[in-house]
A and B are shown apart, each in its own frame.
Chain A
Amino acid sequence: MDRRDLVRWLSGFAAAGWMAPLPGAERVRLAELLPRSGGAAAFTPAQAALVATLADVIIPRTDTPGALDVEVPGFIARLTTDWYSDEEATQLRRGLDAIDALARARFGGTVLSLSEPNRTALLESLDTATGQPGSAEHTFARIKSLTVYGYFTSERVQTEVLKTEIVPGRFDGCIPIPG
């Protein structure tokens, strides 16, 4: 997705008054939008919905933008189709299916459909475990690191949240942290 598309995509949501935390139906809608955001070949609709859900849970919207506000799922889709090897992409997709399969086995539904306490319990168990590539645990870790990276390297977060100085103009080696 290029930047012009990104702006159009974000402003489309803003125009819809989409300011509250995402209900499940919105996440599905988001997943439907993914093909237009460069993720066409990346995921099945169910996988895409899961990626969006996980990104939203990992970095939710608070008083600052959340992962979905800065197009993190599109970034994950782009890396999946254009950066990862075929094997890595296959493992990622398999791992996404494994996360939903685990959700169904433990709580009777996909991650998207779970109650918040159940979803948190499931993801905490994945977050504190390790696994082989293609496993639910490994894939959660990968989605999490991609979410954090995609979020913090986005223009909005860099400029509005972190207020990164591109040209500081000076270097101070050891100064008190303000306020």
Chain B
Amino acid sequence: MPRHQPNRFDAIVVGSGITGGFAAKELTERGLSTLVLEAGRPIDPARDYTEHVQPWEMRFRGYGDRRALERDQFIQKNCYACDEMGARFFVNDRENPYTFDPAAPFHWIRGRQVGGRSIMWGRQVYRWSDLDFGANLEDGHGVDWPIRYPDIAPWYSYVERFIGVSGLAEGLPQLPDGEFLPPMAFRCPELRVREAAERVWGRDRVLTMGRCAVLTRPHNGRAACHYCGPCERGCVTHSYFNSLGSTLPAAARTGKLTLRPNSVVESIRSDPRTGRARSVRVIDAESHRTMEFEGRLIFLCASALESTRILLNSRSDRFPDGLANDSGQLGRNLMDHCFGAGARGTMPGMLDRDSRGARPNGVYVPRFRNVRDRHPGFVRGYGFQGGAWRSGWGRGGPGFGAGYKRALIREKGPWRMSLGGWGEMLPRPDNAVTLDPVVKDRWGIPALKIQCTFGPNERAILADIQVTAAEMLEAAGATEITSYDDRLPPGLCIHEMGTARMGRDPKTSVLNGWNQAHAVPNLFLTDGACMTSSANQNPSITYMALTARACHHAVDLIDRNEL
């Protein structure tokens, strides 16, 4: 490609988060000059990472600037990580509006900065299996995935080896093991529940250590975790994986990367003759100046709903309903995970023991419903995430004065343990996003109108979660067990996906089995929008594996002159 044209690149990647960073790394390492467009500002870890800021250094001691949050981040503040220090990594809701029926809220949690939401993600990584990739075909919900586990397994390994994943191999078919660094340690009651579950349910219900993208030993030039706790505020030692500290630097080392922050993508222009994507229209976030960048290859990695919005807003005579939307499925089949239900209890005894250090990870119970048996009330399933802890001074309680104070300082509360379910959500065409006819964002781009509700299958899953979580705690001897369902709205699990799904048939899907748009061969989309079903595992590693796989396929096509 001619290097003298500053607005022309071999590849353009929209988004610099968990998928955009990976696309940048793979494409540049394969020799493509690559422009990464990021809507948000640059991040400087020295200035913006605040994981070691202590409560007394915060104006509201960690409660957050409530008035600012209620004014500017009235949606974002629903995310636990959008707190006094973390709020800087979440968008301003007034500048970034979207609409929904107030009776059916959807919480859209967004981060616009270099690194995207990989800065404050939950870091849990779980492979899918063919129980997941075959589910749609098996029970008829959605369309069949165009890939199966063997297609993605080597890419899971590829990603795990790069990012570093700590975990415990269990040999379970529904949750394949990966390339693990040593697992983090269990707390005493977690081991007790693990043993009790094995005693009662054998290998059907396995409580294992969370598999997370946090290093338990030095890896690829990054330091092991120092267990300070709040990863979601950043990590100056890059001990958890994010694109800012790992994939983007790798891409930069090739000399092929151009990273342009403050670049709000408005639309993608296609060539009316060939139907191919030609250029990306960008509005500078600060100057509001419009510009255009040409790319031979375009990768959409802007997050599921942002990538979908860009495609919906890229209309032409050839694509009147949005770029690559011949199927009419663009914007449909929005999924999240249903969560916020589970059980908690007190674990008696072990009062002479405690843990030391802040483990940025919990325990995990892989799916056990509809694995070998068939549940009468719902299809698919859920996994548990949870953990045990002893409360310190925060437990409060009755009393005051010298004795009360001494007890809060010197004594600890009993062990408590909680298990919360993360449930699969079925793809339904009526859970859909469209462009709002009236509302626009700060840059004049039409806002999304989001329609999304949980259905009977999700409600049945949330009900079952409360029963099985409680019975697992009970089996381990827990007392004071209470089940809960916080009735959280969809979106808040921040696993939104599915609105430009992969499929075998161009009539019913937007992307093929390589994340390539059926109708636009040089357009690839590898963020959550590509997902054909949701499974119940945290999805980021699957997005990353699909991204790496798609990048290598795209460059192979170019090398073979097939693109």
Contact = CB atoms under 8 A, between A and B. Distances in A.
B401 A171 contact: no
Nearest to A60: B402
A176 B350 CA distance: 9
Interface string A5-16: 000000000000
A123 B401 CA distance: 11
A169 interface: yes
A175 interface: yes
Interface in B36-92: 52, 54-57, 59-63, 65-67
Interface stretch (A29-37, A43-51, A93-101, A147-155): A147-155
A174 B185 contact: yes
A174 B404 CA distance: 27
Contacts of B409: 64, 161-162
A173 B60 contact: no
Contact of A158 (B54, B187, B394, B408): B54
B61 A62 contact: no
Contact of A62 (B185, B190, B406): B406
Given A83-B60, A127-B399, A166-B54, A171 B67 contact: no
A105 interface: no
A153 B67 contact: no
A173 B358 contact: no
B352 A176 contact: yes
B407 to A, nearest CB: 12
A78 B59 CA distance: 9
Contacts of B402: 60, 62
A158 to B, nearest CB: 7
Interface in A133-157: 144-145, 148-150, 152-155
Contacts of A66: 405
A20 interface: no
Contacts of A83: 60, 63, 65-67
Given A150-B61, A158-B54, A169 B398 contact: no
Contact of A127 (B184, B188, B355, B398): B398
Contacts of B392: 162
User: Mostly helix, strand, loop or mixed at chain B's interface?
Assistant: loop
A79 interface: yes
Contacts of A78: 59-60
Most central of B56, B352, B401 by chain A CB within 10 Å: B56
A170 B216 CA distance: 9
A57 interface: yes
B412 to A, nearest CB: 8
A168 B400 contact: no
A177 B353 contact: yes
A59 B57 CA distance: 21
Nearest to A171: B357
B228 A148 contact: no
A148 B396 contact: yes
A134 to B, nearest CB: 20
B393 interface: yes
Given A148-B393, A150-B61, A166-B54, A173 B405 contact: no
B94 interface: no
Interface residues of B, number: 48
Contacts of A26: none
B356 A170 contact: yes
A169 B352 contact: no
B54 to A, nearest CB: 7
A73 B171 CA distance: 56
B162 interface: no
A58 interface: yes
B226 A167 contact: yes
A112 B86 CA distance: 40
A87 interface: no
Nearest to B53: A166
A170 B357 CA distance: 6
A154 B398 CA distance: 22
Nearest to B412: A177
Contacts of B281: none
Contacts of B358: 168, 171
A160 B62 CA distance: 20
Contacts of B187: 173-174
Interface string A67-87: 000000001001100110000
Given A82-B67, A83-B67, A128-B398, A177 B352 contact: yes
Contacts of B354: 175, 177
A150 B398 CA distance: 17
A144 B398 CA distance: 10
Interface in B295-335: none
Nearest to B390: A177
Given A60-B405, A168-B228, A174 B355 contact: yes
A97 B60 CA distance: 25
A75 B117 CA distance: 33
Contact of B357 (A154, A155, A168): A168
A153 B56 contact: yes
B504 interface: no
Most central of B65, B354, B398, B400 by chain A CB within 10 Å: B400
B226 to A, nearest CB: 5
Contact of B400 (A57, A79, A152): A57
A18 B339 CA distance: 53
B404 A172 contact: no
Nearest to B406: A62
Contact of B356 (A3, A120, A167, A172): A172
A150 B146 CA distance: 56
Nearest to B185: A173
Interface in B402-419: 402, 404-406, 408-409, 412
A150 B58 CA distance: 12
Contacts of A64: 405, 409
11 contacts: A57-B400, A60-B401, A79-B60, A150-B61, A154-B56, A162-B392, A165-B357, A171-B185, A173-B190, A173-B191, A174-B350
Given A145-B396, A170-B226, 15 more contacts: A3-B56, A57-B401, A83-B67, A127-B400, A144-B400, A149-B61, A152-B408, A153-B62, A167-B52, A170-B356, A171-B359, A173-B188, A173-B190, A175-B354, A176-B352
- CB-CB nearest 8 A-B residue pairs: A173-B185, A171-B357, A168-B357, A153-B55, A174-B188, A155-B56, A58-B400, A172-B356
Interface of B: 52, 54-57, 59-63, 65-67, 184-188, 190-191, 225-228, 350, 352-359, 392-394, 396, 398-402, 404-406, 408-409, 412
